[in-house]
Amino acid sequence: MKLEFEKIVPDKGSSMRVLHHRVTADQFEWSYHYHPEVELILVLEGNGRRHVGSHVSYYDSGDLVLIGSNLPHSGFGYGATDIHEEIVIQFKADLFEKEIPEWQDIQNLLIKSLVGISFSKKTKNAAIQYFQEILTLNGLAKFHKLQELLAFLAKQNGVALNQSINKHERYLKGQVRVVKIFDFVENHFNEDINTNHIAELVNMTLPAFCLYFKKQFKVTFTDFLMEYRINQACKMLLEHKPVSEVAFNCGFNSLSYFSRTFKLFKQMSPSSYVRLYKSNE
């Protein structure tokens, strides 16, 4: 997983770039990248992985995230289990920099976005109308609608995705470790993974690795691995694979243990999960 610089070109006659994608997971290039522009991502539907800075987690039934300038992130549709639809708004970080009193809340929001901000499903649902209108507008009306959207988000209680703002050079050094860990999990999640081996992989003692991982990801490595396996299991279940086969292919040696773990993370059994998504088709 290589970190790449992305050059953002605003839409013609606009101070922002607006994108609308509706694709299956295998139709999109989920690169890991950064850019000076601020980015607002609204995932209208679907499940996937959220990787912003050092934060990695999963979302269900859509997502809304604000990513600040030069904060590395990947495409949110990675690991999606169904159709991925998103609206993305990108604009320069200094767009609202002028000393205008009415912009103070927006300026504070953009400062907070430097660590990444995730918003609740309630906020996401309320924000959809702003995004949909921005897609249809042009010129000054489009800019004013973005201003309204940011003013609305500034009043919401978003959750910071990272603990601190990192200088880009310093971040890249730490990112090598994060990428090694995640790449190993992606390639070996169906095997018996020993935490000692992961610690050795990144040249850390086991206690130091456990403390580091908990600080970076807000969960233990064991819980992170279980969540990753369960999300992979969801994708396989929706491909109509038998539950027993899915359990084995996701690193579970016991069907009963798989079922208990699945229910812990998804609040329902594997069979109930399949029925729920079939009923929504």
End position of a domain, from candidates 121, 143, 160: 160
Same domain? For 140 and 252 the reply is no
The label of the residue with tokens 């064991």 reads: 222
**pLDDT computed for residue 36 by the predictor:** 86
Rounded-to-integer distance, Cα 104 and Cα 97, Å: 9
Return the DSSP state at 11: P
**pLDDT computed for residue 90 by the predictor:** 97
Quick one: pLDDT band at residue 169, thresholds 50, 70, 90?
very low
Our count of domains for the chain comes to: 2
One DSSP character per residue, 83-135 reads -EEEEEEEE-TTTT-S--GGGHHHHHHHHHGGG-EE--HHHHHHHHHHHHHHH
Same domain? For 116 and 132 the reply is yes
End position of a domain, from candidates 110, 131, 160: 160
Same domain? For 272 and 238 the reply is yes
Same domain? For 173 and 266 the reply is yes
Same domain? For 196 and 132 the reply is no
Same domain? For 177 and 268 the reply is yes
Cβ-based neighbours of 2, under 8 Å, separated by 6 or more:
32
Same domain? For 116 and 209 the reply is no
Rounded-to-integer distance, Cα 239 and Cα 177, Å: 33
End position of a domain, from candidates 144, 160, 176: 160
**pLDDT computed for residue 163 by the predictor:** 77
Rounded-to-integer distance, Cα 166 and Cα 129, Å: 33
Residue 43 is which amino acid?
V
Is it the case that residue 258 has pLDDT exceeding 70?
A: yes
Identify the burial level of 191 via C-beta atoms within 10 angstroms of its C-beta, where 0-12 means exposed, 13-18 middle and 19 or more buried: exposed
Same domain? For 111 and 10 the reply is yes
We report the CATH number of the domain holding residue 252 as: 1.10.10.60
Same domain? For 29 and 82 the reply is yes
How many CB atoms lie under 10 A from the CB of residue 82?
17
3-class DSSP assignment, residue 196: helix
Maximum CA extent, the chain: 61
Q: What are 52-74's pLDDT values in tens digits?
A: 987 888 887 889 999 998 888 88
Half-sphere exposure of residue 168, counting CA atoms within 13 Å on the CB side?
13
Task: Give the structural domain span for 9.
Answer: 3-160
Same domain? For 180 and 136 the reply is no
Q: What are 124-167's pLDDT values in tens digits?
A: 999 999 999 999 999 999 999 999 999 999 999 999 998 776 54
Q: What are 70-121's pLDDT values in tens digits?
A: 888 888 876 666 678 899 999 998 899 888 899 999 999 999 998 999 999 9
Q: Which long-range contacts (CB under 8 A, 24 or more apart) does 5-10 make?
A: 5/33, 5/34, 5/35, 6/31, 6/33, 6/34, 6/35, 7/35, 8/35, 8/36, 8/37, 8/90, 10/90, 10/91
We report the CATH number of the domain holding residue 134 as: 2.60.120.280
Same domain? For 14 and 140 the reply is yes
> Per the structure block, which two tokens stand in for 14?
């606009």
Same domain? For 117 and 213 the reply is no
Half-sphere exposure of residue 82, counting CA atoms within 13 Å on the CB side?
18
Rounded-to-integer distance, Cα 41 and Cα 172, Å: 23
Quick one: pLDDT band at residue 173, thresholds 50, 70, 90?
low
Taking the CA atoms of 193, 195, 196 and 198 in sequence, report the sign of the dihedral they define: positive
Q: Find the helix packing angle between 121-136 and 139-154, rounded to 10°.
A: 170
Taking the CA atoms of 133, 137, 142 and 144 in sequence, report the sign of the dihedral they define: negative
